[in-house]
Structure 1
Amino acid sequence: MTLCAAWIREINSREELVSATDSSLTGGEKWNQGVKLFELPRPDCLICFAGETSRAYPLILNLISSIKLDRRLRSPRTDIEEVLSYLASLFTALVGTIVNEIQGLDIHDLRAGAKFLFGGWSWLESRFRFWQLYYSKDAEGFIFKECTDEPNKNRIYTFLGDPEELVDTATKTYKRLIFDDDIQDDKMDMEPLQILIKMSRDKSIRTVDGAIQIAKVYKSGTSEFFGINWPSSKGKPHFLGRSFVPHSKPDVRYFDPDTLILIEDKLPTVIDDLTRFSHLEDFDFIQTCYGEDGSLSTALSDLDRERLIYVFREAAYQRFVDNMQNDIAQDHRPGEA
């Protein structure tokens, strides 16, 4: 049981493939800190699942092991479509070995217990591609349906859920969101993530729960996994569904679920007096990032944004050190006669 999503995000003329899912595992019991989004032994692709954990985990673990052991599958020279074909064949072979020991259960229902989202960067076609994979009774094996077969569409996304009603709810909520905000003609940003967060916070939806797991694939053929503060910006850091205390959290970037902005990438949108930074070597650079009214430029590149965050972080740390040294110096002043 779950809801997951994949979509192609375009921001500042840069595309990236984003995949996300909730963290709830069910099946006679309920866990809200289960891993459902997996990094494979090649960094240009991701896989997540919806459905029965007892069916999905053996298949995914076999896939990870198989890629590790196969030099061709590990090689970045092997396009992900070839990995997809292998994946479908492997899953078909594995579910074909299931022995039904419960009277009255259909073997095809057992084999179809989980479905998957798989995708990544195709160097052969120079574009992101992703597919839904599911068991077909007619084919007696796993088949796949591409979600990126119309590459010129403005918005390319998919939801995968179990039960299927979750997909209908997510799709309707998504369409209502983009029409209410009048952004249906805009490029895709993080709207599917917004839907996942909304549904996972909704306590009336039992099968979608827990902190959202998020990862991206970049055109460089690399992937990045993200954490999230949960259930709000003031909540604890979570990574792959698991809760951490701040001092022991994994060294990854974390999303703010309220703003959908990376917490590490937050910058002051307005600085009323830029001259407070006039003593810094980077003062001229800071002035280029903020307008005459002190407003942060909306056209800031990712590189400049990272540089600006570093400058402010270093300035804040230096100010902290200076203040501590001043306090120590005052504590050790000779007493007056």
Structure 2
Amino acid sequence: MTITISWINHNIDTKELILISDSRLRSYGAMDQCQKIFPLERGDCCLGFCGDAQIAYPLSVQASSALNNFIKTRTRIFDVLEIKDFLCKILNNLISSWDLKKSEKLTELKETNIFFGGWSWKKSDFIIGYFKYDDSGFIYHKRKTNLPHPFRDQNKSFLFLGDYQRDYENEIKKILSASFTNSHEKNIFL
């Protein structure tokens, strides 16, 4: 089971990127208290993952290491939009070096998602999305989770990756609805 969630929290005069994840790695048994979020040394973006730890974990570690080792990707010379493109190349190069048939790679990677998000100084805004593998390799997706009222986010900046997505969305809808109802009755949320 994996749950990785990201959203852009909007305050009155600022925004912040929030990324959370469970800490269980599962491959040959389960191991708790493990890292699934990798902040990059440049300080304005990070990686996260969900999927089979035997595949997703080394991909994340290697991609993070490669980005941290190259001075232009480590020092913010490149914007996160450009980092996203470098990351795509890194992931696809790693997978192309894997000595499996293309059909076997597709099967092994079908549940693997690599989160990437950060602050774009070119857009003056956060970007969030994920890489998903298909027949042609890893592709970056910006699809967001659409939560109904009362989560009033016009930009749909909430992203969920992992197992039990429908169950999680139903639970968060209940929590947000109850929170909105209680806040509205107390005139706090207005």
For Structure 1 versus Structure 2, the TM-score category normalised by the shorter chain is 0.7 to 0.9
Q: Distance in 2 between the 1:55 and 1:136 partners?
A: 15
Structure 2 equivalent of residue 10 of structure 1: 10
Structure 1 equivalent of residue 154 of structure 2: 153
Q: Distance in 1 between the 2:180 and 2:44 partners?
A: 33
State the TM-score, normalized to the length of structure 2: 0.82
Q: Distance in 1 between the 2:33 and 2:94 partners?
A: 27
Structure 2 equivalent of residue 92 of structure 1: 92
CA offset digits 1:156-207 (Å, max 9, x no partner): 201100x3xx111111211222223327xx9xxxxxxxxxxxxxxxxxxxxx
Equivalent residue runs for 1:1-337 within 5 Å: 1-100=1-100, 106-137=104-135, 139=136, 141-147=137-143, 153=154, 156-161=157-162, 163=163, 166-182=164-180
The percentage of counterpart residues that share the same residue type is 26
Q: Distance in 1 between the 2:48 and 2:116 partners?
A: 7
Structure 2: segments with no counterpart, 5+ residues? 145-152
How many residues get paired?
Answer: 175
Displacement, 1:27?
1.6
Displacement, 1:68?
2.6
The DSSP-based 3-state class of the residue aligned with 2:34 is: coil
CA offset digits 1:61-114 (Å, max 9, x no partner): 22122123212111213110111111111111111222239xxx8331124452
Q: Does the CA-based 8 Å contact 1:129-1:147 persist in structure 2? A: no
- The structure having more radius of gyration, on CA atoms, is 1
Structure 1: segments with no counterpart, 5+ residues? 187-297, 299-337
Structure 2 equivalent of residue 242 of structure 1: none
State the TM-score, normalized to the length of structure 1: 0.48
Kindly report structure 1 stretches of 4+ aligned residues shifted beyond 4 Å. none
Q: Distance in 2 between the 1:24 and 1:15 partners?
A: 29
Q: Does the CA-based 8 Å contact 2:68-2:74 persist in structure 1? A: yes
The DSSP-based 3-state class of the residue aligned with 1:90 is: helix
Structure 1 equivalent of residue 147 of structure 2: none
What's the Cα RMSD here?
A: 2.5
